[in-house]
Amino acid sequence: MTDLQWFEAIPPRNGTPTDLTAMCRVLADRPQHGLRRLQPLVVFEAWFAHDRVRWLLGVEPRIAGSLPQELVAQLPDMALLETDVPDRPAPVTAREVHLTNKIHPVRLDTSAGVTAGLVQLRESLRPREAVVGELGGRTKPSFNASSGQ
């Protein structure tokens, strides 16, 4: 497993889905390296606990000096605070979602519905429970959801 440099992301309260989408596009346009033309590993996680939401960004060290600034350039009021070892509980149950059906892609016009579903899920969590959504990888963004205690 590649060691990542971690940041806690604090998005602006007045950010719109369009603003967040512009920031996420930077993740898809990372440079490719080597003969296999792989993109450096980047992971963007949203942790939903019963009492708060927390955003984490893990970046491969070779782009950790430039990628955070590129993300903040797209979302100027976002703060990225470097952290040595983020609190990431081990999942007890995990599900992986691969979007292969072109009928139901992740789209900006569905963000309100997805957000409402996540808020409803968060409200059903008990203390010490959490759900994490993960966007990232090497070559194509994917969405992984897991719950843990």
- Digit-coded pLDDT (tens) for 79-101: 999 998 788 877 777 666 655 55
- 57, 60, 71: which is closest to 29 by C-alpha? 71
Domain count, the chain: 1
Domain range enclosing 20: 5-148
Total-model pTM: 0.73
Asked whether the predicted pLDDT for residue 148 surpasses 70, the reply is no
Q: Which of 3, 7, 120 is nearest to 67 (CA)?
A: 7
